[in-house]
Amino acid sequence: MPIRTFIFDFDGTILDTESQDFVVVDEMWKAHDQVLELSEWRTGLGTTGGFNPYDALEARLGRSIDRAHWKAHNHQRLLEHCSTQPIRPGVHALFDYAIAHGITLTVGSSGNREWVHRWLHEHGIFHHFATIVTSNDVSAVKPSPEIFLTVAANVAAQPADCLVFEDSAHGVTAANRAGMRSVAVPIPSLVDAWMPDTALRLRTLADITPAELVARATAAPLPNATA
């Protein structure tokens, strides 16, 4: 069955906002003379309600911090860092391939609508997507399959017709639960991290041509949906 829909995660997959988040959170921890372990921070990637840097820091210190100050400071620093980031390698080529081959482009993100829309507009790619589903549109984020199933429903696609692009274990788990094939492209800080079964695991989406990527992903077995 041919792939008819590409579903892109946003944070870490289209734009590496996640590495920038680690830099900003690490700065806050260092300001309090604490060391943030990468292994601890990355448990929260691709979902919500995971690692909370403020809760964890206060637990480490044994006292409260000025959260209002640090949240405002960190948000501004994150915007500054993310504004310097390019679209991840291979993403534009996949957009071009999809447009040339009649494949619908979509986004399924655990991020909030304001955040995702901001950067898609900033990079001039918002118009490419037939639907954009965020945490604002569902009752449960990844690893729940709801985001990806909502994307499919919005464009009248079957799960078997969809190919998901993800950088996190939570995201690949969500794709598997939705019965969709996936391609994993972890950000640098996740290259050694465990990943569920996936059709392909690449360093970047530019590692192989879009045609080869689609051919190899299509040849992979469909995961058993558990939604």
Q: Which residues are catalytic?
A: 9, 11
Which helix (H) or strand (E) covers residue 71, if one does? helix 67-82
Residues 165-202 have pLDDT tens digits of 999 899 999 999 999 999 999 988 778 888 999 999 99
pLDDT at 90 over 90: yes
pLDDT tens digit string along 33-54? 999 887 788 766 656 667 899 9
pTM above 0.95, yes or no: no
Element (H, E) at 54: helix 53-61
Give dist(CA 103, CA 125) in Å, integer.
16
Task: Tell whether the model's pLDDT for residue 210 goes beyond 90.
Answer: yes
Can you tell me the distance from the alpha carbon of 173 to that of 137, in angstroms, rounded to the nearest whole number? Answer: 19
